[in-house]
Amino acid sequence: MRDWFTLNAQVLYWLLVAPFRGVPVRLGPVFEQMVRIGVQAVPMTALTSLSIGITLAMQGAHELTRMGAASFVPDLVAMTILRELGPLLVGVVVIGRSGSAVTAELGTMKVSEEIEALEVMAIDPMRYLVLPRFVAMLVMLPALTVFGNYIGMAGGWAICHFSLDMETASYIRRLVESSHPMDLYSGMVKSVVFAWLIITISCVYGLGVKGGAEGVGRATTNSVVVSILTMLIADACLTAIFFFGES
């Protein structure tokens, strides 16, 4: 936990303070990490969101049709994806694909003493290794969430249109009317928080690897498990803040 706070403090320093002291963020590695963490995860994110949208609509249609309320399927899909499943599932995908890769990459560098070599050369590993990944994750996870939201709602449309004979215009109208801006904003805030948790936990576990290749594997597993658990707990807390704070 102390390592996590230390890493956060150092990252925030390099991100918010150092640029005003003549040490800017290195954009080249940031873009490189954005492609690796975000762009290359688009197909997997799209497939996951599409599946979830279709599944949600099918489950909702199955139950709501029995009550003669099939027209509420778009409401269910929109609310669930925008508020919860959009950011959550994209986060899980990114944890499994990119978070674990970050931990393994940093862990391997640690056990091969590359990080010590950087420190010997007076290069701060936080600025050189962690900061680009941090910025890339903070930008790309919300972006992936936006894509995931659209694709998930498209999956819901597929079921409503082809199975429930709902007009596309009706689907979009219900989708828009039933959703509040707060649903979207809360999902986007969650995705930013998830990104911050995922990348910091992944980096902490990667930089804390001990014991060679076995340690890298163990750190990667722990990183994924802790990231998912932390993300779920944070999700519950944020939901309570956004939707149960006033009641």
Partner 1 sequence: MKKLGDPLIALSVVACSVVLLLALTFALQGNPFDRPSRTLRAEFPDITGIQQSSLVKYSGAIAGNVHSIRMLTPEERNASPHPENTVEIILAINNNVPALNEGLTASVASDTLLSDKFVLIAGGDPKAAALANNAVIGSITPVTFDAILRDLAGAMAKLREIFGSAQGGALDGIMPKVEKLLGDLNTTVTQAQGLIGNGNGLIQNANTMVDSGDGLIDNAGQLVASGRSLIDTNKNAIDKMIAQLSAAADSLDDLAQRTNKLVKDNEGNVSSSLKDAKVTLSELKAAAISARVLADSLRARPQQLLWGPGHPPKPTSN
In the bound complex, what is the minimum distance in angstroms from residue 97's beta carbon to partner 1?
Answer: 15
| 3-class state of residue 180 by DSSP | coil
Q: CA 220, CA 104: separation in Å to the nearest integer?
A: 6
For residue 77, give the nearest of 61, 101, 94 by alpha carbon: 61
In the bound complex, what is the minimum distance in angstroms from residue 100's beta carbon to partner 1?
Answer: 21
Q: CA 241, CA 234: separation in Å to the nearest integer?
A: 10
In the bound complex, what is the minimum distance in angstroms from residue 17's beta carbon to partner 1?
Answer: 24
Which one, 12 or 27, has the nearer CB to partner 1? 27
Cβ neighbourhood burial of 245 (10 Å; 0-12, 13-18, 19+): exposed
**Binding positions for partner 1, rule: CB under 8 A:** 27-28, 31-32, 34-35, 38-39, 42, 69, 72, 136, 139-140, 142-144, 146-147, 149-150, 176-184, 188
Residue 235, both tokens: 């999700």
Q: CA 220, CA 205: separation in Å to the nearest integer?
A: 7
Which one, 35 or 237, has the nearer CB to partner 1? 35
In the bound complex, what is the minimum distance in angstroms from residue 20's beta carbon to partner 1?
Answer: 23
Which one, 31 or 128, has the nearer CB to partner 1? 31
Which one, 81 or 216, has the nearer CB to partner 1? 81
Terminal C-alpha separation, the chain:
33
Specify whether the CB–CB gap between 73 and 57 falls below 8 A.
yes
Which one, 64 or 159, has the nearer CB to partner 1? 64
In the bound complex, what is the minimum distance in angstroms from residue 78's beta carbon to partner 1?
Answer: 9
Which one, 37 or 109, has the nearer CB to partner 1? 37
In the bound complex, what is the minimum distance in angstroms from residue 62's beta carbon to partner 1?
Answer: 17
Check the CA dihedral 9-91-115-220 and report its sign.
positive
Q: CA 70, CA 56: separation in Å to the nearest integer?
A: 13
